[in-house]
Amino acid sequence: MIEENGRGFYDPKTRRKMKKLTMYIAKHRPSTKHSAESRPCAHCTKEIKRLGIKKIVYVNAYGEINKKLACNYYTDYICPGYKELERRNIKVD
């Protein structure tokens, strides 16, 4: 939760912890025995970087586990949920 009085996310102690954090992104597909592709979309990547998360771990389209520094990760992938919002002309920041 972001608090107005300078504590919460913007607290220096919290920021230092976020810079050490590794985010594991997983997507379960009940119809198969395998994990589904779980790479973060462009919107999620923007938030991950804004929060200062250090590393991300995700499954690519080939079922391989990838580990990357968030600052070096780039994608132009837009997930189906955001595509639907765009189709309905709903703006999300």
Domain count, the chain: 1
Q: What residues make up the domain containing 73?
A: 22-87
| pLDDT recorded at residue 8 | 56
Predicted confidence at residue 72, as pLDDT, reads 94
Give DSSP secondary structure letters for 4-69: TTS-BTTSHHHHHHHTT-EEE---B-TTSSSBPP----HHHHHHHHHHT--EEEEE-TTS-EEEEE
3 domain-assigned: no
In a domain, 76, yes or no: yes
**Tens digit of each residue's pLDDT, the chain (93 residues):** 444 444 556 678 887 888 889 999 988 877 777 778 899 999 999 999 988 899 999 998 888 999 999 999 999 998 888 899 989 999 876
Q: Is residue 37, in this structure, part of any structural domain at all?
A: yes
pLDDT of residue 1: 44
- Pull the structure tokens for residue 12: 């220096």
- Return the closest-CA partner of residue 74 out of 48, 52, 92: 48
Is 63 a member of any domain?
yes
> Does residue 12 form part of some domain?
no
